[in-house]
Amino acid sequence: MIPRELQTRAINGPVPAILLALTLAWLALIIGAPLATVLVEAFSKGLDTFLATFGEPDALAAIRLTLLVAAIAVPLNCAFGLAAAWSIAKFEFQGKALLLTLIDLPLSMSPVVSGLVWVLLFGARGWFGHDLDILGIKVIFAVPGIVLGTIIVTVPLIARELIPLMAEQGADEELAATTLGAGGWTAFRRVTLPNIRWALLHGVLLCNARAMGEFGAVSVLSGHIRGLTNTLPLHVEALYNDYDFVGAFSAATLLAGLAIVTLVVKTVLEQLIRAGATAKPS
């Protein structure tokens, strides 16, 4: 493998410096400034007001709901992602390309549509709405709907992390484990899982960040009932619409903090994945 330093050519002259300056200026404008605004606004009336935002029952309910949704959606997508990546990478079957396209679909679809499909299926006038009503199950404008909306939006994130890696690794190690007497679960736990652990964590992290931050699909499905069906992003919007700017931005700092933590952990994981892909005493 070519050392990293040799892959990037050193270019002399003013062009790289100008490009770098432009990039930094653009990032400062597009990312730095809004992030700073969030913090400035959140603390504009002092620390007490900032903290008071999180004392409100509606805010606490929003945080709880966001955590609950992520706690359901992420493990489900993790299981699905593993199963899909396993079957696509380790087996040959017809319709593989179609399955791959389907997994990718939510990425190219507007989240609003991802939310609306559930309304069409389970809403009061939807295909199964009447039956659900008789059974007394409420999906739309309730927690199950929010979970469904979050799942559909985040479905590709873990599978896409795993498929290329598992395809590259092939199935020989699992076959070797089997002939050495390992059962399916042992082979998965002791051979497959360690080989994909960093990529899996990376996928879980992205999935979690998206699940907690999702607005579009959840907005369609939640019904915006304060204290009941508002997730944190929806709560921010609700506060903002009430002209409670300090409250809105304070809540937003939580989401921004999540983004920053995600970013740091993601960077660390990516280095671990790279280390695992080349040589690897771990």
Give the interface with other proteins as residue ranges (CB under 8 A).
169, 172-173, 175-183, 186, 190-191, 194-195, 276, 278-282
Cα–Cα distances (Å) from 201 to 37, 106, 213, 267, 273, in that order, read 31, 21, 18, 12, 10
165 vs 252, beta carbon nearer other proteins: 165
The backbone region for 183, taken as left when phi is positive above 0, alpha when psi lies in -120 to 50, beta otherwise, is: beta
Token pair in block for residue 40 = 């400035």
CB of 166 to other proteins, least distance (A): 13
169 vs 262, beta carbon nearer other proteins: 169
4 vs 280, beta carbon nearer other proteins: 280
49 vs 87, beta carbon nearer other proteins: 87
d(CA 230, CA 217): 13
**DSSP conformation class of 171:** S
CB of 183 to other proteins, least distance (A): 6
94 vs 108, beta carbon nearer other proteins: 94
d(CA 218, CA 50): 26
CB of 157 to other proteins, least distance (A): 24
CB of 98 to other proteins, least distance (A): 21
Q: What is the DSSP string of 182-218?
A: --HHHHIIIIIHHHHHHHHHHHHHHHHHHHHH--HHH
Angle at 89 between CA 192 and CA 189, to 5 degrees: 15
8 vs 179, beta carbon nearer other proteins: 179
CB of 234 to other proteins, least distance (A): 42
In what helix (H) or strand (E) does residue 59 lie, and over which residues does it extend? Answer: helix 57-90
The residue type found at 34 is P
Contact 114, 236 (CB under 8 A): no
CB of 87 to other proteins, least distance (A): 18
How many contiguous H segments (helices) and E segments (strands) does the chain have?
A: 15, 0
32 vs 194, beta carbon nearer other proteins: 194
Cα–Cα distances (Å) from 93 to 98, 99, 100, in that order, read 11, 10, 12
CB of 199 to other proteins, least distance (A): 13
